[in-house]
Amino acid sequence: MIEVQSYLREIREAVLENRKLLAILIDPDKFKETEAADFINNLPAETTHILVGGSTVEPGQTCNVVKAIKNLCGLPVILFPGDHSQISAYADALLFLSLISGRNPEFLIEQQVRSVEKIKNTDLEIIPTGYILIDGGNETSVQKVSNTVPLAQTEIQQIVNTALAGQYSGKKLIYLEAGSGAKFPVSPEIIKTVKSSLKIPLIVGGGIRSKRLLQKAYNAGADLVVIGTAFEDGTFD
Ligand code: 1GP
Residue nearest to atom 4 of ligand 1 (CA): 180
Report the pLDDT averaged over residues 220-228.
98
pLDDT at 5: 85
Q: What is the atom index within ligand 1 of the atom nearest the CA of 207?
A: 8
How big is the chain by its Cα radius of gyration, in Å? 16
Check the annotation: does 148 bind a ligand. Answer: no
Structure confidence at residue 106 (pLDDT): 98
Nearest to 152 by CA among 196, 106, 184: 184
Q: How far is the CA of 208 from the centre of ligand 1 (A)?
A: 7
pLDDT confidence of residue 56? 87
CA distance 114 to 84: 6
- For residue 68, pLDDT beyond 80: yes
What domains sit in the chain, N to C, each tagged with a CATH number? 7-233 (3.20.20.390)
The C-alpha atoms of residue 152 and residue 136 are separated, in whole angstroms, by 8
Question: Exposure of 199 by Cβ count < 10 A (0-12 exposed, 13-18 middle, 19+ buried)?
Answer: exposed
Q: How far is the CA of 229 from the centre of ligand 1 (A)?
A: 6
List all residues whose CB is within 6 A of at least one atom of ligand 1.
25, 177, 180-182, 205-208, 226-230
Q: Is 229 assigned to a binding site?
A: yes
CA of 231, closest atom in ligand 1:
9
- Binning pLDDT at 50, 70 and 90, where does residue 1 land? low
CA of 207 to the centre of ligand 1 (A): 6
Question: What is the ipTM score, two decimals?
Answer: 0.98
DSSP characters over 31-56: --GGGHHHHHHTS-TT--EEEE--SS
169 annotated among ligand-binding-site residues: no
218 is in an annotated binding site: no
- Residue 2: band (very low, low, confident or very high) from pLDDT cuts 50, 70, 90: low
Which atom of ligand 1 is least distant from the CA of 208? 9
Closest residue by CA, ligand 1 atom 2: 205
pLDDT at 228: 98
Q: How far is CA 11 from the centre of its chain?
A: 13
Write the DSSP assignment of 144-182 as a string of letters.
HHHT-PPBPTT-HHHHHHHHHHHHHTT-SEEEEE--TT-
Each residue's pLDDT tens digit, 74-120: 999 999 999 999 999 999 999 999 999 999 999 999 999 999 999 99
Q: What is the pLDDT of residues 22-67, one digit of tens each?
A: 999 999 999 999 999 999 999 999 999 999 999 889 989 999 999 9
If you measure from the C-alpha of residue 180 to the centroid of ligand 1, how many angstroms do you get, rounded to a whole number? Answer: 4
Known binder of ligand: residue 180? yes
Give the DSSP letter string of 46-106.
T--EEEE--SS--TTHHHHHHHHHHHH--S-EEE--SSGGG--TTSSEEEEEEETTS--HI
Q: What is the pLDDT of residues 113-158, one digit of tens each?
A: 999 999 999 999 999 999 999 999 999 999 999 999 999 999 999 9
CA-to-CA distance for 39 and 100, rounded, in angstroms?
Answer: 32
178: Cα separation from own chain's centroid:
11
What is the distance in A from the centroid of ligand 1 to the CA of 1?
A: 39
Which residues, listed in sequence order, are joined to residue 96 by a DSSP beta bridge?
Answer: 128
| 27 annotated ligand-binding residue | yes
How far is ligand 1, taken at its centre, from the CA of residue 26, in Å? 9
Higher pLDDT: 3 or 13? It is 13
